[in-house]
Amino acid sequence: MVAGKVETLFPRLEERRAQMAKTLSGGEQQMLAIGRALMTNPRLLVLDEATEGLAPVIRQEIWRAIRLFKEQGQSTLLVDKSLSEILPIADRCTILEKGSTVWVGEPAALDSSVRDRYLGV
């Protein structure tokens, strides 16, 4: 479906083609894991903090790929704290607090009172 070739989705991996996966950087390993998951043609791709702890350039590359997934119709469940990245591409949002759902809705309905109450730092 989405990832006809992992190299096309994540061009940085092309130069690492002959390298063993365990010797890749953390970001490259994350890109490889996403590409491997896509090779199964999943009906739903689940990504739990896919960019956590990665370098900014790698984070941007993974978010670019996630936006591409959406454009190509890949159903994706994203768990993330990066509102600036997730809100523009989300169709629906769910906020959990201590394992309980406290808010569900469209990104546009996520007003400042909800943000301040549950998403403030």
| Domain enclosing residue 63, as ranges | 6-90
Asked if residues 16 and 24 have their Cβ atoms less than 8 Å apart, the reply is yes
Same-domain status, 86 and 102: no
What's the burial of 83, exposed, middle or buried (CB within 10 Å: 0-12/13-18/19+)? middle
Short-list 38, 34, 68, 35, CA closest to 51: 34
Averaged pLDDT score across all residues of the chain: 86
Same-domain status, 72 and 14: yes
Residue with the larger pLDDT of the pair 36 and 90: 90
Same-domain status, 10 and 67: yes
Q: Is residue 74 part of a domain?
A: yes
Task: Specify the range with the lowest mean pLDDT, choosing from 4-8, 10-14, 18-22.
Answer: 4-8
Q: Is residue 1 part of a domain?
A: no
Is the confidence at residue 1, as pLDDT, over 60?
no
∠ Cα 31 81 53 (to 5°):
45
